[in-house]
Amino acid sequence: FKKFDKSKDNLINKRELKTALKELGLAPVSEKLLTCTMEAFDKDKSGALSFTEFQALVSQVEQAKRQLSSKMHEMFKGIDKNGDGHITPQELKTGLAAMGTHMDDKVIDNMIKAADTDSDGRVNYDEFIKVMSCA
């Protein structure tokens, strides 16, 4: 809290909240999201977040990140049919088809190439997470 309270008034204002959300991994933050977040957590309607209000926000952000991480892991495992820790073009095609999305082989290959930072022709979990976090 003190790290983000640049004005040292024991409150997190909108500008400070934007920095805090960025450091919590929620960047970029739109003005609309910033306003909605402030309104949702500023329980006393002071126009800034107290320590308790900020703590509630951080708690919800961390919980949401854990839930998202769990869902991403489940999704990866669902596509990685042979369980080797990598998604091949064929596994991606099959996985997308199972979700009702059918794509041309060239599009699938381009998706794999875009995600495949180690150039092994497959996507590992870390590569999958990086691509999904940009989606």
Whether residue 122 is contained in a domain is answered as yes
Whether residue 2 is contained in a domain is answered as no
- What is the tens place of the pLDDT at every residue in 73-128? 998 999 999 999 999 989 988 988 888 888 888 988 888 888 898 999 899 998 88
pTM of the model: 0.61
Tally the residues of the chain.
135
Q: Percent of the chain at pLDDT above 70? A: 96
- Determine the pLDDT at residue 38: 92
Whether residue 4 is contained in a domain is answered as no
Contacts 24+ apart (CB under 8 A), 59-63: 61/21, 61/24, 61/26, 62/24
Average pLDDT value over all residues in the chain: 89
- What residue numbers bound the domain in which 111 lies? 80-134
DSSP string, 58-108: HHHHHHHHHHHHHHHHHHHHHH-TT-SSEE-HHHHHHHHHHTT----HHHH
pLDDT bracket for residue 59 (50, 70, 90): very high
